[in-house]
Amino acid sequence: MSEPIPPSDETQKQALALTYAAFVAGLCSIVYELLIATTVSYFLGDSVRYFSLTIGMYMAAMGAGSYCSKYIGENLISRFLQFEIALAALGGLSIPLLYLSYIHESLFIPTYVLLTCAIGFLIGLEIPFLTRLMESFKALKSNIANILTFDYIGALIATIAFPFFLLPVLGNYQSSLVLGLINLSIIAVLMRYFGNSLGTAKRQIVTWLIVIAVVLSAGVVFTSQALYEWDQALFDDRIVHAEQSRYQKIILTKNEDDIRLYLNGNIQFSSRDEYRYHESLISYPLAYKQGPVKRVLLLGAGDGLAVKQLLRYPEIEAIVLVDLDERVVELARTNPHLLTHNEGSLDDPKLSIVFADAFTYLMENQVPFDLIISDLPDPNNIELARLYTKQFYQAMRTNLAPKGIFVTQSTSPYFATKAFWSIHNTVEASGFTHVVPYRADVPSFGDWGFIMASDTELSTLRENAILPSNEFLNIKMLDAMRVFAKDQAHADVEVNNIHNPVLISYYLEGWQRFGY
């Protein structure tokens, strides 16, 4: 080990430059990891699985990088700068590469694994290299303490910036490009104070610095165009609106008279057959509702189509819509394609809109409802699966008025049979005395399932059970909708709990079996 150099202006600046490198390294390393895990979870669902796999591979690769660093003994500063250029390029382009590979499905998982391991390996080299570079300026004890302190401070800032700034403001795609540019600032700063010691490697490093900076900057500038082309490659129909909200990717497509809304790649409705879905979700349970229906709670359904169907019932006096994503509601209020189909329902005076988590709202609400409709996205990740748990349905039950009815969309009993019956069993386990599963054919979705529940019997039709305006439901088909084919028969599956969210596995297993 070399003896520390007596402090001077120049050496102090070099030490500060290395400290800056440790800070930025900590910041970038955490964000790369979070971006990769988040993006894979967006595409494949099951966030717990892919965050766990990403962290595991990342840590293992970092360990391998740290171990291999001991075999590099010469030209430490030039080697470190070369590794940082590679890391900035891989980290900065990691999300664009994942997006590109997702178009070619067979390449996605290999790309994910290779990127995670390669970035982890390069990050594993950073701390050993910085520690060895700093040993010329400080004693080992202070050296390690300083490097790790600023590395961890960078990581802390990254974990705060990621959910509150990077994802909501820049999105995952642009965030990776920006972080790559921030990563390059390490090279620029160290070149300023160590450039004279690089020898012949200096020109090569400067060239690569410029090339990677130009590529990443171009990526930032053309993010919108790149994402539009990527979105269009995934959808057969023309995209008329695309945006990344704080919570999800929102896509609106048009093909002649067919308008379709997608959230995170999952279809929410097709204007050609949405009436089948919404009549099944709303008019079917109302056909069996005994007593008045004055107050209705709608969870999700920010597109306004469920509200439109509810407004066809004049006895309904108040509708409360609870949605997490303000952007979906704002789009449904202003986009001409959506306004044509929801008929401006979101501006009706009977409607109140609350932007909140559905579970939180149920726990805090004090006024019961005659009908509660859960029109939430499918449970393909832990955040959504909690809205299909026994605890969620227990909260739902306490929010119902006497003779009240609860209904939830429950994914496909054909494609995801186990998931459908797990939702059914979970609703039963939550305490409802009458639970009725039923299904409807919605061409854009396939065979779709619903669960209706109440503490009052659900077999007696109310007077004027079917609206004359209904395009799908009629009296004769109501009983038939409760009949399931042999390949959709009740499955012996577990109840979905917050502490054991089995529904995610059932859901993904079912849809993946059919190649979705």
Binding residues: 248, 278, 303, 323, 357-358
Place of tokens 């520390």: 4
Q: What is the DSSP string of 359-412?
A: HHHHHH--S-EEEEEEEPPP--SHHHHGGGSHHHHHHHHHTEEEEEEEEEE---
Given a contact cutoff of 8 angstroms between Cβ atoms, the answer to whether 245 and 325 are in contact is yes
Q: Which of 46, 44, 30, 49 is nearest to 120 (CA)?
A: 30
Residues 375, 447, 479, 487: which is the catalytic one? 375
Q: Which of 241, 93, 246 is nearest to 175 (CA)?
A: 93
Q: What is the C-alpha separation between 454 and 432, in angstroms, rounded? A: 6
Q: What is the C-alpha separation between 87 and 364, in angstroms, rounded? A: 47
Residues tagged in the binding site annotation for spermidine: 278, 303
SS3 of residue 463 by DSSP: coil
Given a contact cutoff of 8 angstroms between Cβ atoms, the answer to whether 97 and 111 are in contact is yes
Is 492 annotated as catalytic? Answer: no
Strand 258-263: give its sheet, edge to edge.
238-244, 249-255, 258-263, 266-270
AA letter at 284: Y
CA distances to 251, 268, 275, 276, 490 from 243, rounded to whole Å, are: 7, 15, 26, 27, 39
SS3 of residue 497 by DSSP: strand
Residues tagged in the binding site annotation for S-methyl-5'-thioadenosine: 248, 323, 357-358
Q: What is the C-alpha separation between 340 and 48, in angstroms, rounded? A: 39
Q: Which residues pair with 270 in a beta bridge?
A: 260
Q: What is the C-alpha separation between 268 and 445, in angstroms, rounded? A: 9
Element (H, E) at 214: helix 201-221
Given a contact cutoff of 8 angstroms between Cβ atoms, the answer to whether 134 and 149 are in contact is no
Q: What is the C-alpha separation between 226 and 393, in angstroms, rounded? A: 42
Q: What is the C-alpha separation between 508 and 501, in angstroms, rounded? A: 12
What single-letter DSSP state applies at residue 196? Answer: G
CA distances to 361, 404, 452 from 434, rounded to whole Å, are: 24, 11, 8
SS3 of residue 205 by DSSP: helix
439: left (phi over 0), alpha (psi -120 to 50) or beta: beta
Q: What is the C-alpha separation between 20 and 456, in angstroms, rounded? A: 66
Active site residues: 375
